[in-house]
Amino acid sequence: MTYAQWNSVWKMKGSYYHNKRKIINDPVYGFISIPDELVFDIIEHPYFQRLRRVRQLGLTNYVYPGAVHSRFQHALGAVYLMNSALEVIQQKGCELSHDDWLGALLAILLHDVGHAPFSHTLEHVFISDMSHEKLSLLYMEELNNQFGGQLDTALAIFKGEHPKKFLRQLVSSQLDMDRLDYLRRDSYFTGVTEGVIGSERIIKMLRVVDDQLVVDRKGIYSIEKFLISRRLMYWQGYLHKTVIAAEQMLVKTLDRAREMADLGMDVSSSPALARFLFSNRANSGFSTTKELLDAFARLDDTDIVSSLKEWSCCNDLILSRLADGLLNRKLPAILIQDTPFSSDRIDFIRNIVMRDEKLDQSLVGYLVFSDNISNSAYNEESDQVMLYENTGNLTELSEASNIINPSLLSKADNKYFLCFPKEYTGKF
């Protein structure tokens, strides 16, 4: 549906849509309200409604069954926190115009609108040369065109071009509303209590000094817990070994489907998925940006799941095995260690699997594969957390904290994994 068609339908709905001050019952924050009519209109747009059909945590529900919440929920939660943060910093003497306020709300609302199906799992699978942040920016620009330039301020904030730099920090920084929401929300739905943070406390401690977002000194303990919780949440939730195995298996499944299509083999899928999976993966494959955005807006988790159902019954042994494994949680075994796996060990395992499964060398990589994962909780160089002292001076977190060493938290924590069919567990 084009925007013109959507707008026509919107008008035909009548008085129902005139009530734009909606109240939403959020499981994390309770009752939250839509603070502006334009925010409501953007939420109602098909580009944003798509986020209802994109899971926030990919395949994390294979480990934590409750983790089936959507990007839609996360975006609304981030808007709620943004509104709270703006109220706090304004109460502490920071002048904000209505334009500033609305721009920040829209920027955080749309910060994830460009996510692929299953979120980070398939980040570069469909469009190899474009991150979800870049796609989100393109969606914002297109929406700005459709809404007559009403997103100009939001775009300036999102791109870091707004004169009030702290507004960009509220959208993307060490203490942005994105992180404050997803840690608390993901912890709630996964049940991983190590990720629980005091988002309200942190927001109450925010203020603006010299156009910089800082934290009141008395909020240091909440910040310390936030950084530790973020690190623990990554290793126990987002980067849980079983989650890694499932997500890598999904990527391998799509790789096999694309390879079969390149070889001229029949691979059925939804038109939305075929448009990206079986054609040029680069942005150059689209004649216009509008065509790209409209096509991508029709692609969501349901396209992947429906295709897996089809592929699980296909004649290709590799594709059917992978698809069936994902549908029925028959996941590969995974080993994780702090150092890279030796090529000799990987080759040894591949040779055994090739022999037992009677596979060509070109196919064994779909069943036996190795890579690395990385996590850092704090970026000390690019965006330091500054504490506001009672004297009016600013102190960097590392100088004030007795238990947090940002230099260690900012160091990338690398781990290496090796996946292979589970039936070979204990044979190597």
Nearest by Cα to 299 from 279, 314, 316: 279
CATH second-level architecture of 241-327?
Answer: Up-down Bundle (1.20)
**Residues 87-112: what's their mean pLDDT?**
97
Decide if pLDDT at 6 tops 50.
no
Spell out the residues 6+ positions from residue 150 whose beta carbon is closer than 8 angstroms to its own. Answer: 38, 144
Helix or strand or coil: residue 266?
coil
Q: Which of 11-20, 67-76, 119-128, 345-354 has the lowest mean pLDDT?
A: 11-20
Q: How many CB atoms lie within 10 A of CB 39?
A: 19
Q: What's the confidence (pLDDT) of residue 375?
A: 78
**Residues 145-173: what's their mean pLDDT?**
97
What does the domain layout of the chain look like in residue ranges? 3-239+380-409, 241-327, 332-376+412-428
| Cα 279–Cα 59–Cα 363 angle in degrees, nearest 5 | 50
Rounding to the nearest 10 degrees, give the CA dihedral for residues 119, 242, 236, 335.
-120
**Residues 46-71: what's their mean pLDDT?**
97
Q: What's the confidence (pLDDT) of residue 381?
A: 59
Q: What's the confidence (pLDDT) of residue 22?
A: 83
CA 244, CA 333: separation in Å to the nearest integer? 11
**8 Å CB contact between 419 and 334:** yes
Q: Which of 45-54, 110-119, 285-294, 357-366 has the lowest mean pLDDT?
A: 285-294
CA 416, CA 375: separation in Å to the nearest integer? 12
Decide if pLDDT at 308 tops 50.
yes
Res. 194 pLDDT band, cuts 50 70 90: confident
Res. 285 pLDDT band, cuts 50 70 90: low
Nearest by Cα to 208 from 394, 37, 344, 26: 394
Q: What's the confidence (pLDDT) of residue 398?
A: 80
Nearest by Cα to 418 from 372, 346, 370: 370
CA 70, CA 55: separation in Å to the nearest integer? 4
* pLDDT more than 70, % of the chain: 90
Q: What's the confidence (pLDDT) of residue 1?
A: 45
Maximum Cα interatomic distance, the chain, rounded to a whole number of Å: 73
The DSSP symbol for 54 reads S
Q: What's the confidence (pLDDT) of residue 208?
A: 97
CA 386, CA 256: separation in Å to the nearest integer? 48
- The residue ranking higher by pLDDT, 193 or 83, is 83
Terminal-to-terminal C-alpha distance of the chain: 54
Helix or strand or coil: residue 392?
coil
Q: What does the pLDDT look like over 201-244, one tens digit per residue?
A: 999 999 999 999 999 999 999 998 998 898 889 888 899 999 99
CA 288, CA 414: separation in Å to the nearest integer? 39
**Residues 139-155: what's their mean pLDDT?**
97
Res. 324 pLDDT band, cuts 50 70 90: very high
- Positive or negative: CA dihedral 380, 383, 384, 385: negative
- The residue ranking higher by pLDDT, 428 or 97, is 97
Phi, psi for 390 (deg, rounded to 5): -60, -25
CATH second-level architecture of 332-376+412-428?
Answer: Up-down Bundle (1.20)
Tokens 């870049």 found at: 134
Nearest by Cα to 110 from 170, 53, 39, 175: 39
Helix or strand or coil: residue 418?
strand
Q: What's the confidence (pLDDT) of residue 16?
A: 41
CA 392, CA 396: separation in Å to the nearest integer? 13
Decide if pLDDT at 20 tops 90.
no
> What's the CATH number for 3-239+380-409?
1.10.3210.10
What pairs with residue 214 in β-bridges? 207
Q: Which of 310-314, 335-339, 412-416 has the lowest mean pLDDT?
A: 412-416
| Cα 244–Cα 171–Cα 96 angle in degrees, nearest 5 | 165
Spell out the residues 6+ positions from residue 58 whose beta carbon is closer than 8 angstroms to its own. Answer: 118, 119, 120, 121, 122, 243, 247
Q: What's the confidence (pLDDT) of residue 413?
A: 77
Assess whether the region 3-239+380-409 and the region 332-376+412-428 belong to the same CATH fold: no
Q: What's the confidence (pLDDT) of residue 406?
A: 59
Average pLDDT of the chain, as a whole number: 90
